[in-house]
A and B are shown apart, each in its own frame.
Chain A
């Protein structure tokens, strides 16, 4: 799925790195606990979260993720956005809650068969 499709499905607003809209992504994860993202996530390109601090971007960077989606209409501050920009990670914000946002992406085909159990 292209990030442009993710934006459309989530009715999201892009906050930085809109040049990556053509980028293909294969999977996503949703979590407010960065410890768990670092421990269990593998090859997921999108992080959906309601947590807003620079460590969200750092976590995404360490995991080679391409996009962060802030849920529940959250908009991070400039420090978070400039760190994302510096690392070429697209940032979006959606009004949907975490559960709904993940559900919309999953039900539209953004998942990999058989890789979801830890």
Chain B
């Protein structure tokens, strides 16, 4: 199978549309015949990342590179960046505002959850410049 690249702009203005890119990737993986376990891991990891982009960074760009052996998800934003990545990786640590918690998110589980469901997670972040998440899931 030739690698397939899917690219999406994530709108940071509208919380109600967050998850559209993850939903589209999930549907594509289903059509391509990946196992339900792989599809769910990709869907959850990407969705958590997409929600983070909307909550913290006014959106950004989401890319999925799909091949037979592995799926790579790249989430790049130009948001405020993560000051302390080790702290952000701790379960329960969150900088999300109260209104985000009222929407059911911001429990400080996003990044730890992405790590849990992926085989590799790389975070590049520069305060004031932006954050890029590289998520690898082997099939």
Contact = CB atoms under 8 A, between A and B. Distances in A.
A39 B44 CA distance: 9
A5 B110 CA distance: 34
Contact of B23 (A38, A61, A63): A61
Contacts of B16: 53-55, 79
Contact of B109 (A36, A54, A62): A36
Contact of B19 (A36, A49, A55): A55
A34 interface: yes
Contacts of B51: 55
Given A38-B113, A39-B109, A58-B18, A64 B104 contact: no
Interface string A43-68: 00000010101111011011110000
A55 B105 CA distance: 9
B26 interface: yes
A107 interface: no
Most chain B beta-carbon contacts within 10 A, residue among A33, A58, A87: A58
Interface in B48-106: 48, 51, 103-106
B23 to A, nearest CB: 6
Question: Chain B: interface secondary structure?
Answer: helix
Interface residues of A, number: 21
A84 B109 CA distance: 25
Contacts of B109: 35-36, 38-39
A36 B92 CA distance: 10
Contact of A58 (B19, B40, B108): B19
A35 B47 contact: no
Contacts of B19: 54-55, 58, 61-62
A32 interface: yes
Contact of A62 (B15, B47, B103, B105): B47
Given A51-B103, A55-B105, A79-B16, 12 more contacts: A32-B104, A35-B105, A39-B112, A53-B15, A53-B104, A54-B17, A55-B51, A55-B104, A58-B23, A59-B47, A61-B19, A64-B36
Q: What are the 4 tightest A-B residue pairs by CB atom distance, in nearest-first order? A: A35-B107, A58-B19, A34-B104, A39-B109
Interface of B: 15-19, 22-23, 26, 36, 40, 43-44, 47-48, 51, 103-110, 112-113, 116
